[in-house]
Amino acid sequence: MIYNPQYLIESSLCLIVFYAFYHIILKRETFFQLNRVYLVLAPIVSFGIPLIHINAIAQNSPKTLEYIVPTLIQINEVESLVWQPLTITPSEYFTIGEFLMFIYLLGVLVMSIKLFRSIFMVVKQIYIAKKLKQTNFTLLHPYEEIKGASFFNYIFLSHKMDESSSKIILEHELVHARQWHTLDILLLELCIIMQWYNPLIYLYKNSLQAVHEYIADDAVCTSCSLTDYARLLVQESKGQHSNRLVNTFNSFTKKRLAMLSKKKSKKWKQFKYLLSFPLLGTLMVLFSFNLLDNMTDNPITELDNYLEKVAEQPLVKLDDDTFKWGKLLVNFKHFNQKNAIEMTPEEFLSLKSTQPNLGQDKVPNLELFWVRKGSDPISCVSPTCFDNLISKVEKGDIFYIDRITLNDKKYPGLVIKII
């Protein structure tokens, strides 16, 4: 499943639809926790929808088999004429599909290595930093210039900052730690590995990290001055960004300032999030539902039994002096073999008014003929070709109805000479 082009395309389309909904409908709202849930669940749901297979049963016509059997016979007839044994030699080169699979798997490998490298770098920073164990978190004073960052319950805080700024930034990073924002980022990193080629998956992560900062800012501003907090954001906006797996205080500064100045969304606008459910249902109808024809309780067994019954019955019946074609009896004369008959143009044209019997159903599929008009053999497969030929039937024409194989049993061919 890791490389299935159809799955990757369908999951990518789901990602596009869900992100478009977020960007157009939800992004500007101040329901940060709801936006967080949406941005985490949307990629997971997008990956899951193509994996779900729900079979929807459709009522069929009682004569479903009547249409299936002629199709099987016609396919067999065409294959007997068109396909020839082929000698397949292994290719010395990559096919396009193999090349694309190689590129995709190489991308997965590279992104996996980058993720493990980032985790290793964070663990290394935690290991070498000065630690101060607190009740619910561990405060780290790194040797690198990191103004404020968090990774799970590890808080990175520069010891060079003044006490008031340190207190505000510590409270900000504690919000990330308490709400497990790092876990959200790791989940998105796994999604990036699976769809590294899709630019939208990076937008999901970027949007989610911005929402994390909005959540922390909103919590801190309840206990400090909004003006002082905005001034601190600007003051600390310059500086080195840390590892991509950690939440950093000096990130998304412009977006955060704009969101701080934004009025709270009205509560009734929360109903916008309910619109995502019809969107989910539509995507499931497109990619998860399979429409099946309800032929019988056990359609495969029923079809197999039907074919066995059909194979035991003659396609055409030759008596001593008549040729039975469906319900039509035609007089004929043998001329060189048992299954070769002679008939007049009028008798031959009358064959078009009925069809041979096959079990209890009429099977209109005997359009495959080899026709010899004079010395020129003509292959005729389509009904249109057959109609054109019999409308110009002349004395001396010979029609060869090819042998038909059905369910590993063969019916004898038939030769008709026009006299």
pLDDT, mean of each 10-residue run, the chain (419 residues): 78 94 94 96 93 67 48 50 46 72 92 94 90 90 81 89 88 94 95 93 95 95 89 81 82 92 92 94 84 51 55 48 51 53 70 47 40 53 57 69 49 65
pLDDT value, residue 315: 44
Q: Where are the domains of the chain?
A: 5-52+97-287, 309-418
Tell whether pTM > 0.85.
Answer: no
pLDDT value, residue 257: 93
pLDDT value, residue 197: 92
For residues 209 and 150, what is the distance between their CA atoms, to the nearest angstrom? 12
Task: Spell out where 223-360 has E strands.
Answer: 247-248, 289-294, 317-318, 322-325, 328-331, 333-334, 340-343, 357-358
For residues 201 and 214, what is the distance between their CA atoms, to the nearest angstrom? 20
Largest Cα–Cα distance in the chain?
115
Q: Distances from the Cα of 109 to the Cαs of 44, 115, 185, 194, 243, in angstroms? A: 20, 10, 19, 10, 20
pLDDT value, residue 406: 45
pLDDT value, residue 186: 96
For residues 232 and 362, what is the distance between their CA atoms, to the nearest angstrom? 86
